[in-house]
Amino acid sequence: MQSNNSPNFNKRMKHSVDTPKTNGVPRPRNPDDVARHRRQLPTFAVRHRLLQEIEGHHTVIILGETGSGKTTQIPQYLYETKNYNYGMIAITQPRRIAAITVAKRVAFEVGTLPGALVGHCVRFDDVTSPVTKLKYMTDGMLLREALLDPLLMKYSVVILDEAHERTVQTDVLFGIVKTAQSDRKRKFCKPLRIIVMSATMDVDSFSSYFNNAPVLYLEGRQYPVQIMYAKENQSDYLFSVLVTVFQIHQEQPFPGDILVFLTGQDEINSVIKHIKDVARFLPNDVRPLTVLPLYASLPAAQQMLAVTPISSGARRVIVATNVAETSITLSGVKYVVDSGLVKVRFFSPVTGLDLLKIQKISKAQAWQRAGRAGRESSGICYRLYTESLFFSFNENSSPEIQRCSLASIVLQILVLGIDDPHKFDFMDKPTPEAITNAIDQLHLLGAVDKTENQIKLTHTGKLMSSFPVDPCLAKIILASKDLGCTDEILTIISMMSVDSVTCDPTFKKNEAAAARKKFQSEEGDLITLLKIFQAYIKVNDKKNWCHEHFLLARQLKTADDTRKQLVDLCTKCGIISQSSASDLSAVRRCFARGLFMNSAELQPSQDYLTRSLCSGTRLAL
């Protein structure tokens, strides 16, 4: 394939992503290989030294190269010493897929089923038991546990993994575990050990924040990765991705799967469609391609397809967002195609709106992406940008806490008993305007009482914090108690918590629209979601029914499971299940109580105007 947008790469070795420190071995395929595999990981050679350092310091920073085994092995070493068995060992991950896959991997290594000695806990999915000692969990879940137990007394060790990603939950956890460690020492409780781990981070700022904690460097098992830069900037990077994938497939030897980094779901689905279309015209003597998506909102079963190797003899092309940058090991990947872009969320305190912007990645992200090609053998990373552009990238990504809405975080901070969120010990403090905006939102929602000198959490605010959803949605759930429509509200919020439940095949869009027409409501998309779920629950053969109506059965099943957990939370909060039956006006009034900040006024000019939360000015949308 040739085009003016076809990337021409500099065919020379530009960099090596970590030289190999030890000879790597394949991941074991059966339990008999586990012991040998663990002994050959780089962490094993320094096991005793690691444990000595952790025993000698309450907090350590571990900078471990890709493939060192830090995420899977260090928790096992801590458990095997028996020194920390007075509590569980928590290992946090920024993303649920990482927490689930790593937990399953470690459970396999220790020879137990998931949920026994090793378990995972993510939003609306808790696979743990009273005997669980190694608990892999998302940052958000440990944050929620801290609301009920600020000292984290259930845990002897908290491992904050992939700390360099600096999600908003991770940044808040830094302050919470640091405070819990200090308070437990002051109250003469069992000590809390903190381990901060990452493959790349600004170690000086981390060490300084955690009271000059020592930094331990772990050598990895990374093979050489050849870096290919584009000779000129690409005007159409999606087309360049397509061209590069087929160049690799036809020119590079097999085996060797391809990992492509793009910015979001729509791009991924578009590129996958085009790859499949072109692949149909490949010569018979060229191996077939198996193309798989990987992004955070993808159902867990489909995410596992991308993580699990296949034995069909086809070359896999995994098209992913930055979810594939860290933690997850994608076996078989030898070639990486890096678009150099990422989709980042920004919150504007002036307009009160969240925006998704596509921007250039950081140098740290670029090296993380390249490192995916060198986990099991030497590989090649094709960067669809020039070398000069790479050197213009920022060294590290900006922390999420400085560019997102803080309403949920401020509510959690207040529940922890911290009266002034402005004084919370953030590593990188958000702007005062962002914190003030969050307090104003919570005040309008009735979660806090605010005076000039004091911010006080209300009873409503305490109840809102019980639900693992945005404060405005929690407010809607509480309002449903007064308006008698709890059943309908929980259904709609459960449907909103999953990705789209509809499926619109390219060549059957009209047929799909006709099949779902009976669910459409003039009262809005939220009522449409309600009608879809109500119909889904009533049928027996759910799989065929979903197929006939072009709906995704997995997503609806997830929504059903989520709803059951929200029902349990409502019961604990004293909210009795009620239905408004055919009176949907109560449902609309509930949503108005929680989403009034999203309202706008239609002008004669056909423009919409909203009122700024901070300044009171009216802004055109």
pTM of the predicted model over 0.85: no
Lowest mean pLDDT among 33-47, 148-162, 268-282: 33-47
Segments forming the whole domain that contains residue 118: 31-218
What is residue 587's predicted lDDT score, i.e. its pLDDT? 92
257 and 370 housed in the same domain? yes
pLDDT band at 617 (very low <50, low <70, confident <90, very high): very low
- Token pair, residue 40, equals 């050959």
Write the DSSP assignment of 293-333 as a string of letters. EE-TTS-HHHHHHHHS---SSPEEEEEE-GGGSSS---TTE
Q: How far, in Å, CA of 412 to CA of 288, rounded?
A: 50
Tens digits of residue pLDDT in 481-534: 999 999 999 999 999 988 788 877 666 778 888 888 889 888 888 999 999 999
What is residue 336's predicted lDDT score, i.e. its pLDDT? 96
3-class state of residue 145 by DSSP: helix
- Is 559 within a domain? yes
What is residue 257's predicted lDDT score, i.e. its pLDDT? 94
CATH number for the domain including 257? 3.40.50.300
Q: Considering the chain, what is the average pLDDT of its residues? A: 85
On the question of pLDDT at 79 being above 50, the answer is yes
On the question of pLDDT at 81 being above 70, the answer is yes
Which of 20, 5, 2 shows the shortest CA–CA distance to 379?
Answer: 20
164 and 201 housed in the same domain? yes
DSSP state of 299: -
562 and 543 housed in the same domain? yes
Q: How far, in Å, CA of 528 to CA of 6, rounded?
A: 44
143 and 254 housed in the same domain? no
Domains in the chain: how many in total? 3
Q: How far, in Å, CA of 486 to CA of 481, rounded?
A: 6
156 and 49 housed in the same domain? yes
Q: Could you give the percent of the chain with pLDDT greater than 70?
A: 90
Tens digits of residue pLDDT in 133-146: 999 999 989 988 98
pLDDT band at 15 (very low <50, low <70, confident <90, very high): very low
pLDDT band at 454 (very low <50, low <70, confident <90, very high): confident
Q: 347 versus 385: which is more confidently predicted?
A: 385
On the question of pLDDT at 1 being above 60, the answer is no
- List, in order, residues 6 or more apart from 192 with CB less than 8 Å away: 58, 151, 152, 155, 156, 157, 158, 177, 180, 181, 184
CA dihedral of residues 40, 45, 47, 49 (deg, nearest 10): -170
pLDDT band at 32 (very low <50, low <70, confident <90, very high): low
- Token pair, residue 89, equals 């060992």
3-class state of residue 296 by DSSP: coil
Residue with token string 């310091």: 57
What is residue 419's predicted lDDT score, i.e. its pLDDT? 84
190 and 44 housed in the same domain? yes
Q: List for the chain the helix, strand, coil content (%; round to 5).
A: 45, 20, 40
- Is 439 within a domain? no
What is residue 346's predicted lDDT score, i.e. its pLDDT? 81
258 and 388 housed in the same domain? yes
pLDDT band at 21 (very low <50, low <70, confident <90, very high): very low
378 and 494 housed in the same domain? no
| Phi-psi domain of 45 (left: phi exceeds 0; alpha: psi -120 through 50; beta: other) | alpha
Write the DSSP assignment of 74-120 as a string of letters. HHHHHHHH-TTTTSEEEEEESSHHHHHHHHHHHHHHHT--TTSSEEE
What is residue 4's predicted lDDT score, i.e. its pLDDT? 43
- Is 254 within a domain? yes
Give the domain-ending residue among 172, 197, 218. 218
DSSP state of 234: -
Residue with token string 């590069």: 244
What is the CB neighbour count within 10 angstroms for residue 253?
6
Q: How far, in Å, CA of 245 to CA of 408, rounded?
A: 41
238 and 283 housed in the same domain? yes
On the question of pLDDT at 160 being above 60, the answer is yes
Lowest mean pLDDT among 167-171, 471-475, 596-600: 596-600
Q: 27 versus 39: which is more confidently predicted?
A: 39
Tens digits of residue pLDDT in 198-247: 877 678 888 899 999 999 988 766 688 999 999 998 889 999 999 999 99
- Token pair, residue 401, equals 């806490």
- Is 414 within a domain? no
Give the domain-ending residue among 200, 218, 236. 218
On the question of pLDDT at 27 being above 70, the answer is no
- The pLDDT of 68-73, averaged and rounded, is 88
128 and 184 housed in the same domain? yes
Phi, psi values for residue 176, rounded to 5°? -70, -45
Q: How far, in Å, CA of 345 to CA of 109, rounded?
A: 37
Phi, psi values for residue 177, rounded to 5°? -70, -35
Give the domain-ending residue among 166, 196, 218. 218
Tens digits of residue pLDDT in 302-323: 777 888 777 778 899 999 998 8
What is residue 155's predicted lDDT score, i.e. its pLDDT? 95
| Phi-psi domain of 232 (left: phi exceeds 0; alpha: psi -120 through 50; beta: other) | beta
- Is 426 within a domain? no
Q: How far, in Å, CA of 336 to CA of 382, rounded?
A: 6
Q: In what order do the strands lie in the sheet with 134-138?
A: 125-127, 118-122, 134-138, 88-93, 155-160, 193-198, 59-64, 215-218
608-611 vs 618-620, strand pairing mode: antiparallel
On the question of pLDDT at 434 being above 70, the answer is yes
Q: 586 versus 582: which is more confidently predicted?
A: 586
Q: How far, in Å, CA of 232 to CA of 337, rounded?
A: 16
Phi, psi values for residue 329, rounded to 5°? -95, 120
What is residue 226's predicted lDDT score, i.e. its pLDDT? 94
- Is 135 within a domain? yes
What is the CB neighbour count within 10 angstroms for residue 279?
18
475 and 569 housed in the same domain? yes
On the question of pLDDT at 468 being above 80, the answer is yes
Do the beta carbons of residue 393 and residue 387 sit within 8 Å? no
Q: How far, in Å, CA of 279 to CA of 539, rounded?
A: 39
Tens digits of residue pLDDT in 526-585: 999 999 999 999 999 998 999 899 898 888 988 998 899 899 999 999 998 888 887 888
Q: How far, in Å, CA of 28 to CA of 240, rounded?
A: 36
What is residue 123's predicted lDDT score, i.e. its pLDDT? 79
On the question of pLDDT at 254 being above 80, the answer is yes
- Is 442 within a domain? no
580 and 514 housed in the same domain? yes
- Is 21 within a domain? no
